[in-house]
Amino acid sequence: MRVSSYFLPTLKNTPREADILSHRLMLRAGMMQQSSAGIYSWLPLGLKVLKRIEQIVREEQNAAGWNEMLMPTIQPAELWYKNNCYNDYGREMLCITDRHKHNMLYGPTNEWQITDIFRNHVHSYKKLPNRLYHIQWKFRDEVRPRFGVMRSREFLMKDAYSFDIDKEAAKITYNRQFMAYLRTFNRLGLKAIPVNADSGPIGGEMNHEFVILADNGESEIFCQKDWIDTEVTLDKFDYNDNLQPIVDCCLKRYAATKTKHDPINCPIEADNLINIRCIEVGHVFYLGTKYSEPMGAKVTCADGRKKVVHMGSYGIGISRLVGAIIEACNDKNGIVWPEEIAPFHVGLINLSVDDTNCHATTEDIYAKLCSAGVEVLMDDSYYRSGAKLAIMDLIGLPWQIVVSPRGAVNKIVEIKNRKTGKHEEISVEEVLTRLVG
């Protein structure tokens, strides 16, 4: 992609309306624009990152055995009325009346809808376990939308649902999702801590939030100090293994949300306990029969008896993750994307667009990297050199290649690693070997 034809409306000054770093950086890097309070347009650079995160989440859900589907954003309010749950979400629910005076709502979550789909199609125990997910926009009319995409009203969520024959089977499914979450956040370059949490309006008997530590986080947890430095090794397991030991190993370390923490019964000594700020990026729930019972979601067992299924629901805040990752990955010059989700792998800067050697060298590198499948953003604009370098730092691509008139004469360019700041002068040939392999 060429900067000259890319829509990248970066800002020089810090926008006043943004009160935390990730929000400021997303606006400055031209990733998104507010449409109304808590509702955003995703501009090309922001959308690329959102899609990258979405794809990693999707791959890990598929690997764990979930089926992707897509439910609508608008649901009939009837599904909620019938089950007396219309008011659980209170004023966070955006209600709509269509031209036929039917009450509709913009879904804040999809438990009722998925249970309705399940009960219409699955009638035998032989079809269990049943595991489905979708990645869809949600709407919650938050009282105080703030911090940009972190607490917005419209946001992208991956929500997965499961149906099992009994509690024991549902626990196995829960553990698979637990594991899939650890793997997903690992791939995103984040250290996520599973935390004992309140279930909120979704309800259910057991649940864990996955949080990442961040000074600007809205949430607070109490957690055993050594959790912070613990690495959980995940590459040795297979989804068909008994995952209970790995889950137990995570959960034996104490971590609880502020509301769940009980100082009197806490098993951890005060000097080994810390109270720390964080961002909730995911939440897994074992729901039991909270939704299946009232909806009559039952299957016929081998002995002919009908049994109400046990459910689970599992969310990841995909759009919140964009902000959360920036909170975790930045320096004084801007964003520092982890390789897996960077919008482009390389930023290629032509410092002097009118210089023949510079032009030829830049175009040569660009063509070769593109044909090798490397995603490159090439700055071929007429901006000042200083501005070009500052914008490249701001948008945080993992590698920068700077082509200057002096170096281009001898086919020498500068390569810089955005994360370490380490830079070297190397030949064009060497650039290609390093970045293409």
Asked if 340 interacts with ligand ATP (CB under 6 A), we say no
**Nearer residue to ligand ATP within complex by CB, 24 or 283:** 283
Among ligand ATP, Mg ion, none, what does residue 142 contact (CB within 5–8 Å per kind)?
ligand ATP
- Residue 46 interacts with ligand ATP (CB under 6 A): yes or no: no
46 Ramachandran zone, left/alpha/beta (phi>0; psi -120 to 50): alpha
Least distance in Å: CB of 108 to Mg ion?
Answer: 12
* DSSP, residue by residue, 44-89: HHHHHHHHHHHHHHHHHHHHTTPEE----SEEETHHHHTTT-TTTT
Torsion sign over Cα 138, 143, 149, 153: positive
Nearest approach, Cβ of 120 to ligand ATP (angstroms)? 25
CB of 406 to Mg ion, least distance (A): 55
Quickly count helices (H) and strands (E) in the chain: 12, 23
Q: Name the region of 391 (left: φ>0; alpha: ψ -120 to 50; beta: rest).
A: alpha
User: 345 to each of 168, 261, 361, 375, how far by Cα in Å?
Assistant: 44, 42, 19, 5
Asked if 107 is part of the footprint of ligand ATP (rule: CB under 6 A), the reply reads no
Report the nearest approach of ligand ATP to the CB of residue 200 (Å): 5
Of 129-137, 274-282, 350-358, 394-402, which segment contacts ligand ATP by CB under 6 A?
A: 274-282
| Number of amino acids touching ligand ATP (CB under 6 A) | 17
Q: How far is the CB of 106 from Mg ion (least distance, A)?
A: 19
Residue among 36, 347, 58 nearest 183 (CA): 58
- Residue pair 313/163 in contact (Cβ under 8 Å)? The answer is no
Taking CB under 6 A as the rule, does residue 49 contact ligand ATP? Answer: no
Nearer to ligand ATP (CB atom), residue 136 or residue 352: 136
Question: If contact means CB under 5 to 8 A according to the sort of partner, which of ligand ATP, Mg ion, none does residue 312 touch?
Answer: none
In angstroms, give the least distance from the CB of 255 to ligand ATP: 15
Least Cβ distance, residue 208 to Mg ion (angstroms) = 10
Max CA distance (Å), the chain: 82
Shortest separation between residue 283's beta carbon and ligand ATP, angstroms: 3
By CB under 6 A, what part of segment 201-230 binds ligand ATP?
202
Interface residue with ligand ATP, options 27, 157, 349, 415 (CB under 6 A): 157
Q: Contact between 151 and ligand ATP (CB under 6 A)? A: yes
205 binds, among Mg ion, ligand ATP, none (CB under 5 to 8 A by kind): none
Provide the 8-state DSSP code for 96.
E
Cross-strand partners of 282: 210, 316
Chain residues 277-336 in contact with ligand ATP, contact rule CB under 6 A: 280-283, 315, 317, 319-320
Partner touching 119 among Mg ion, ligand ATP, none, CB below 5 to 8 Å by kind: none
Q: Are 200 and 89 in contact (CB under 8 A)?
A: no
* C-alpha span between 316 and 334 (Å, rounded): 25
C-alpha closest to that of 312 among 64, 129, 124, 71: 129
CA–CA distance, 423 with 418 (Å, rounded to integer): 9
Nearest approach in angstroms of CB 77 to ligand ATP is 19
Site string for ligand ATP, 368-407 (x = CB under 6 A): ----------------------------------------
**Are residues 148 and 141 in contact, defined by beta-carbon separation less than 8 angstroms?**
no
Chain contacts with Mg ion (rule: CB under 5 A): 283
Minimal distance, residue 109 CB to Mg ion, in Å: 10
- Binding of residue 114 to ligand ATP (CB under 6 A): no
- Residue 313 has, within 13 A of its CA and on its CB side, a CA count of 25
Look-up of token digits 């039917």: 102
What is the token pair recorded at 387? Answer: 């501005």
Among 59, 78, 88, 142, binds ligand ATP (CB under 6 A): 142
Residue 58 Cβ, how far from ligand ATP at the closest point, in Å?
16
Q: Which is nearer to Mg ion, 119 or 283 (CB)?
A: 283
- Span near ligand ATP by CB under 6 A; candidates 83-91, 147-155, 238-246, 415-423: 147-155
Residue nearest to Mg ion (CB): 283
Q: Does 60 bind ligand ATP (CB under 6 A)?
A: no
DSSP string covering 222-262, please? EEEGGGTTPPPP-TT--TTS--HHHHHHHHTS-EEETTT--
The answer to whether the beta carbons of residues 46 and 32 sit under 8 Å apart is: yes
Interface contacts to ligand ATP, rule CB under 6 A:
109, 140, 142, 151-152, 155, 157, 200, 202, 280-283, 315, 317, 319-320
